[in-house]
Each structure stands twice: as structure tokens, then as C-alpha cells.
Chains A and B, each alone.
Chain A
């Protein structure tokens, strides 16, 4: 260890300081802010920030629209994440199966949407869904994809479109890392392509699937760009449609203390869900 303290500090301190300033400090600050409230002396008195204890949290927990929005993104996630990852896994297995020609082209074609920012993708699909602008009039003429019944699933399609290729690549690269001997053994046992995929490939890429699931859960709870953009296209998307939209609209009232409490609850819920999912899959793997 002698003589390495200096270099060690040099390597770790820059990231460490920024991490403390722009990750840890905001978390601490949000928690502190959420424990305060604004009080006025009389109707026209000066506003003053005073300690409010858990008052903001009582408001959060009795805030109907906020919990509705949590329910909405959970429903969204329960449907969209498995569909997206199922498609990604299927495409990765097909790419890896040796049955497909032009692998390099498909890999690139599927990945292109990942290069499109969420805001831009949402604007583009918003046009594609709009009855009077869409090229798919046969569909949009009959079903209003931007109506209250459909708009959540229309957004799910946007998110799926962006991220299938990205998730497919993660799964595909871990398929590539499986040693060839494993397949030879399967072939000797007379396993066909489907059986090899089901009994060998999928279990071996499970860590990659778990990782992509965790990222997808985090992403779902954070939904913001898509619903924010869709507010222009559809009146069904309210200012509290997703938890993050609620945070944003609460902070532009402005009620920073309540918005901070929303943020804290949302971050906790996200950590709990993704951590819980990790633990659940680990326990499954131990059996």
C-alpha cells in the first residue's frame, strides 16, 4: 500500500466528489426538503419555510391522482416489459440459431431506434397515430389510438420500439459467450434447435434477462418524455398521468416540498421494486 495513496486518491477522488455533489447531496437534500413546509402568516404574510415533519408524506399517501399514476405505470410495466423482453429474447435466439442470413444487417436495423431520443420517438409516433396525419389510415381511421382507452398502450409501443433492439443486443452478446462445447453435448444427446434454445440457451442467458428486466422496471416507473409529448396529441394524458409528470407539475406550481416528497417516495418505490426483483430471481436460482 505504501506510496499508492496518492495515485489512489487521484483515481477515485474526481468521480467520488462529483458523485457526492450530484448524487448523494441531492438525495439528502430531497429528503430534507420533504420534511419542511411553507407557512404564511395571515393570507398576505411572508412565506416561511418551517419544519413540517411527515406532513408532506401524509399528503403524498392521500393523493389519489399520484397513486393512480403509480397504478398506471405498474400496469404498463406488467404488460410492456414482458412483451418487450420476450420479443428481444426471441429475436436474439433467432439471430443466434444459424437459421438467419444477414445477421449484421438485422442487428443494426433493430438497434437503430435506440439512437432516437425518447422525445423525438414520441413526436414521430404521435404523428403516426394521429388520425389525419398517419400513413396507416386503415388502422387509425377505425381505432383512435390516442383515446383514453388506447393511449397507454400506444405509448407502450413507443417504448417497446425504442428498446427491443438494445435489449436484444444485451441478450445476444451473452448468447455469443456460451462455449461451443455446451452445444456439442446437446447435439450428441439429440436435442433439436428449439429444445437447445429452451433447455440450454435461455437458462444460460438468464443473468442478462434479469439485468434487462431491472433496467426496464426502473425505466417504466420513470416514464416522462413519452407522456409529456403525448399531451400535445391527446387530451387523455393529464398532468398527473405518470409519477414523474406529477413531480414536474407539482414543482411548477411551485410546491417544492411536496414535489420532493413525491420524488423520495418514487425513488424508494423504484429501488424496492428493482431490488426485490433481484432478490426474487436470486432465490429462484439457488433452488
Chain B
């Protein structure tokens, strides 16, 4: 009886695993084939392994524009997530640990920012940036990506839960300034939470599509998602792009998968904490 009980759930889990991983497996296999073999070999198994050739062709195509896109994505995303997390952490921490007039008002405004869809902001941001003739620049995508209201919300919850008031009092008695206390003590206590905020922010910016689509006209400023999108829209006119789109799609997901693998122990437990309170 016990065995029967286990077989059912394991079958469900196995089926779900296939559903989630087969498309990525297909992408890996497809990206490893030459153009000729892509169309006339078994789609879900390797033919002659030419991933290396495909990669070097992809990286060389049009002066290495693809590598440029990858670099852009890393700069937009890594930079915005890193700075954005520090700013959100400081703000959330202050909202959790200090009592001051207007505290709840600020928190509520930030919280309603969570409900405002980021895509609704893209067009007005474009119009504002165009007043300063600053569209089609690195900053036009980078600066708006720094703001993460959900991060403030999470930081406040985490700070309340993980930084005891007694500890802050003690460090005050030791003569440590508020700012120093934050960076030397509180931020350390909040560290696992900060990694979670960072990851959420990273994924959100990495996936952001409408803002760069509206802001950028210069191909050399594109993040990789927009670059792949623009290639994909040209596939019907330039069929050779198809291999580049597939190989590029594979390359574009590698950094995030690696980041998730390395930071596993943080997101595994941290993700749900925002939902509990």
C-alpha cells in the first residue's frame, strides 16, 4: 500500500520535470546543430556536435554585436540590481527601525508603487527623457531600473524580523553612528534577505522588455532580450538569423541559471518570506 502511495506522486513529479526541462533540452540540442542538420535530424537528440562553430559564428556576426548585447544586459541588470538593492534595503530598514512622522504614509505610497505596472511607466518615462534629449542612452534604461518598491517592502519585513532593537541600542551606547551601525551590523543580519531582493530585482530588470523597446533605437545599446527579439522579427527576411537566434537564446539564459544555482540556499528559503506576514 505504501509503495502505491509513492508511485502516484513520483509519476506526477516526473511528468512535471519533463514539461519544464524538455523545451530547454530541445534548445540545447538545436543550438548544437549545423543549419543543414537542424531540419533533417531528430529534434530531441544531438547530431554532429557543432555548438562550438555556432557560438563562434554568433559571436563574430556583425562585429560581435551579440557579445555587446550580453555585456549591456549584465551592466543594466547587475548594476541596477546591486545599487537598487542597497537603496531599497536602506529605505526599508529606516521604515522598520525608526519612528518618525509620515512613516506609514511613505510606506503606503511605496507599497502602492508595487501595484503600478512597470509597463505603464515606460511610455511617460520615454516622454520625460525626450524632454532632456536623453532617450536612446544607457542611462535612459539604467536609471529607471534602479527603483524597486517591492524590495523596500521586503526589506522592511526582513529588517523587522531579523534586526533586534536591543542590538541597535547597544551599538548606540558604544557610540556607533546610525549609518555605521547599518552597514556593519544590520546589513549583515539582513544579508540572506538582501540576496533574495537582489535576485528578484535582477530577474525583473533582465526580463524588462517594454522600457528598452521604447527607449532605445541604437542597436549597440540593446540588452540581449531586445537584440534577440529584433533578430527574430527579421528571421523571415534573413533565414540565416534563425541559427543565431537559437544559439543566442541558449547563451542568454546561461548567466541567470548559473546565478540561481550558486545562490540557491538564499532564494530557496527567502522567496516565501514576503508572503508569510
- CB within 8 Å of B: which residues of A? 1, 4, 7-8, 10-12, 14-16, 18-19, 21-27, 29-30, 33, 87, 90-91, 94, 97, 99-102, 106-120, 123-128, 133-135, 161, 164-166, 169-174, 176-177, 207-208, 211-212, 214, 218, 221-222, 224-225, 228-229, 231-232, 244, 247-248, 251, 256, 259-260, 263-264, 266-267, 270-271, 274-275
Q: Give me the interface of B with A, judged by CB distance under 8 Å.
A: 5-6, 9-10, 12-13, 16-17, 19-21, 23-24, 26-27, 30, 39, 42-44, 87-88, 90-91, 93-95, 98-100, 106, 109-110, 112-113, 115-121, 123-128, 143-144, 146-147, 149, 152, 177-179, 182, 203, 206-207, 209-210, 213-214, 225-226, 228-229, 232-233, 235-236, 245-246, 249, 252-253, 256-257, 259-261, 264, 267-276
Picked from A109, A125, A171, the residue with its CB within 8 Å of the CB of B20 is: A109
Which residue of A106, A112, A170 contacts B275 across the interface (Cβ within 8 Å)?
A: A170
Q: Please, how many angstroms separate the alpha-carbon atoms of A87 and B19 in the complex? A: 12
Q: Give the CA-CA distance A260 to B214 in the complex, in Å.
A: 13
CB distance from A146 to the nearest CB of B (A): 14
Q: In the complex, are the beta carbons of B120 and A267 less than 8 A apart?
A: yes
Chain A residues near B39: list those with CB within 8 A: 133
Partner of B229, one of A87, A107, A229, A270: A229
Q: Nearest Cβ in chain B — how far from A201, in angstroms?
A: 14
In the complex, residue of chain B having the shortest beta-carbon distance to the beta carbon of A137: B43
Q: Give the contacting residue for B27; candidates A30, A124, A207, A211; CB below 8 A.
A: A124
What 20 additional pairs, Cβ within 8 angstroms, besides A30-B121, A120-B225?
A: A7-B179, A15-B88, A27-B116, A91-B13, A106-B13, A111-B260, A115-B260, A117-B206, A119-B209, A120-B252, A124-B23, A133-B39, A161-B19, A161-B23, A170-B271, A173-B273, A177-B272, A218-B115, A229-B229, A247-B119
- Please tell me if the beta carbons of A110 and B124 are within 8 angstroms of each other in the complex: no
Q: A112 contacts B24, CB within 8 Å?
A: yes
Chain B residues with CB under 8 Å of A97's CB are 9
Main secondary structure of the interface of A (DSSP, over half): helix
> Could you give 13 example pairs across A and B, Cβ below 8 Å?
A27-B116, A100-B13, A110-B17, A112-B20, A113-B24, A115-B260, A125-B23, A126-B232, A135-B26, A176-B272, A224-B119, A251-B123, A260-B127
How far apart sit A22 and B115, CA to CA, in the bound complex (Å)? 15
Please report the C-alpha to C-alpha distance between residue A228 and residue B207 in the assembled complex, in whole angstroms: 14
Say whether B272 contacts A8, CB under 8 Å. Answer: no
Contacts A19-B147, A99-B6; A12 near B275 (Cβ below 8 A) = no
Residues B229 and A100 in contact, CB atoms below 8 Å apart = no
A124 cross-chain contacts in B, Cβ below 8 A: 23-24, 26-27, 249
Q: List the A side residues contacting B271 at CB < 8 Å.
A: 166, 169-170, 173
The complex places the Cα of A127 from the Cα of B143 at a distance, in Å, of 34
Q: Chain B's interface: helix, strand, loop or mixed, by majority?
A: helix
By a CB distance below 8 angstroms, the chain B residues around A106 are 13, 16-17
Residues of B within 8 A of A90 (CB): 12
Complex Cα gap A251–B214 (Å): 9
Report yes or no: A19 in contact with B128, Cβ–Cβ below 8 A. Answer: no
Which residue of A11, A114, A244 has the most chain B CB atoms within 10 A of its CB atom?
A11
- Quote the shortest CB–CB distance from A84 to chain B (angstroms): 12
